[in-house]
Amino acid sequence: MRADLTFSELHLGVLRAELCRSDDQEYAAYVLFGLSRIQEDPFSRQPRLRLMVKDVLPVAEEEIKSVDHQHISWSTNRFVDLLSRAEREGLQIGIAHSHPRGPNYFSSQDDRNEAELARLAQNRNGETAIMPSLLFANGELVAGRVWTSPDNVVDLEYARTIGSNWQTIFFAAEHNVVSPTLARQELALGAGFNRLMGHMRIGVVGAGGTGSPLLQQLPRMGAGHICIFDPDHVEHSNLNRLYGATWDDAERKVKKVEVAKREIERMGLGTQVRTYDSWIGSAECRDALKSMDLIFGCTDDHDGRLLLNRLAYYYLIPVIDIGLALRVTERFGISCLEADGRATVLEPGSSCLVCRRIVDAGAAAEEALRRTDPEEYERRKSEAYVRGEGNPSPAVISFTTSVATMAVEEMIQRMNRFRGEDGSIANRVRKFNLVEDFRPGARQEPCRICASDRIHGLGDVQPFLGRAG
């Protein structure tokens, strides 16, 4: 069993402010967590628990029984109250406390107290209840663990923040692999960037026009783990933009994920690749999607986009969604090419694809129908109740590659801040024909996905992502 933790920059800031104060006393807080249970991690093939911080509730002064710089003890009445809230809201309740001057590890007193809280949690909320615990020392988060029962504890491997600044705190010492292939990149982006690339699990949904240039770049940037999702096979009409694909692949109808995997393995750079050739909503993709630290959305399908749109907010997994629209229009009797590339980052704090009017819910419903009931779909198409697939859209490799690069640069910014502290851009549209970038906003309407924090970091719910069907 492995475990890790994700929180927003905001929640990490609140925990630091509450627990690490200048008076050198120990402090404690309750933390509400959403939970993601993964039966089989795509790389380790082991079960995995991922925790997402939902809320931080400081232990109030009147609850504290005794405190100094080496210990804190408080009444557990509120813990019991919070257990019923956690059960009602489908959450887990855990604690965070500080050792102002160290040590950087849990004490034997912590072990005894936490085992008791884990017992309370399971007595109240059943055997599936877990009790996470975080430890701060000298102003930093230094350790974390999850009690899966009163006598079994799993250490967290790492904690990461999302938001405009993606930080990862490693708890277990990882050996640093120095690779000559990444030396020049290290000169530009630093050793920390290379290390994080090797560690992260990156999903690429769609291995077509915009996905294939990404799948060329990420392994050469040191990506250690890549999952590729695409049900389609190579067609002759893809060969103008699909890196690595050959005429023979199109003749033999080779799956796009197979071409991408073959090309990455041919590089010989040690990237581990897992491929999924079914639609991302299918059960066989679920654990893999939930295991990712970052996903690039390179799909044209509206229903797939809607699914990723929810996944980003439910599981705190940033999604960088990519789009390209080429249109040939008439202006003053002259035909012109309008070319818009877009990279949109989906995570709490940023507006979602629905609010940005990027996904078309009607088109998504038609795609769902075509997938689940092809006969009914064809019947409606013949009666013109559905719009059908329409004409193929124009595509040129230079633009598909540029828009993939825009997305990679957004990733670099959030890991390295090369554009400065405020350089992260949630939604960027590049008008290639005008040689200009724009940052369109979103409509300001109440949205159940991005505008309310109820589902942010909620994790597993029935049905998956609260989607019907």
Interacting residues toward Zn ion by CB under 5 A? 107, 110, 352, 354-355, 447, 449-450
Beta carbon of residue 416, minimum distance to Zn ion (angstroms, whole number): 28
Helix (H, G, I), strand (E, B) or coil at 187: helix
Tallying the residues shown for the chain, one arrives at 469
User: Rounded to 5 degrees, what angle do the CA atoms 405, 406, 409 make?
Assistant: 85
Beta carbon of residue 333, minimum distance to Zn ion (angstroms, whole number): 41
Amino acid present at 163? G
Q: Which residues contact 2 (CB under 8 A, 6 or more apart)?
A: 41, 44, 46, 47, 48, 49, 154, 157
- Residue of minimal Cβ distance to Zn ion: 447
Q: Given the DSSP bridges, would you call strands 131-137 and 140-149 parallel, antiparallel or unpaired?
A: antiparallel
Nearest to Zn ion of 156, 260 (CB atom): 156
**Calpha distance 368→280 (Å, rounded):** 12
| Cβ proximity of 138 and 100 under 8 Å | yes
Q: What are phi and psi of 218, to 5 degrees?
A: -60, -45
Beta carbon of residue 317, minimum distance to Zn ion (angstroms, whole number): 16
**Calpha distance 367→422 (Å, rounded):** 38
| Cβ proximity of 4 and 157 under 8 Å | yes
**Calpha distance 288→102 (Å, rounded):** 37
| Matching residue, tokens 């997402």 | 52
Beta carbon of residue 365, minimum distance to Zn ion (angstroms, whole number): 18
Dihedral, 239, 242, 243, 244 alpha carbons, nearest 10: -60
Beta carbon of residue 305, minimum distance to Zn ion (angstroms, whole number): 13
Beta carbon of residue 271, minimum distance to Zn ion (angstroms, whole number): 34
Beta carbon of residue 354, minimum distance to Zn ion (angstroms, whole number): 5
Nearest to Zn ion of 100, 203 (CB atom): 100
Q: Give the helix, strand, coil percentages of the chain, each rounded to 5.
A: 35, 30, 40
Nearest to 195 by CA among 209, 204, 185: 185
**Calpha distance 82→31 (Å, rounded):** 10
Nearest to Zn ion of 223, 465 (CB atom): 465
Nearest to Zn ion of 20, 395 (CB atom): 20
| Cβ proximity of 67 and 25 under 8 Å | yes
Nearest to Zn ion of 79, 193 (CB atom): 79
Nearest to Zn ion of 103, 374 (CB atom): 103
Nearest to Zn ion of 134, 285 (CB atom): 134
Beta carbon of residue 310, minimum distance to Zn ion (angstroms, whole number): 10
Beta carbon of residue 458, minimum distance to Zn ion (angstroms, whole number): 15
Nearest to Zn ion of 315, 377 (CB atom): 315
Nearest to Zn ion of 5, 352 (CB atom): 352
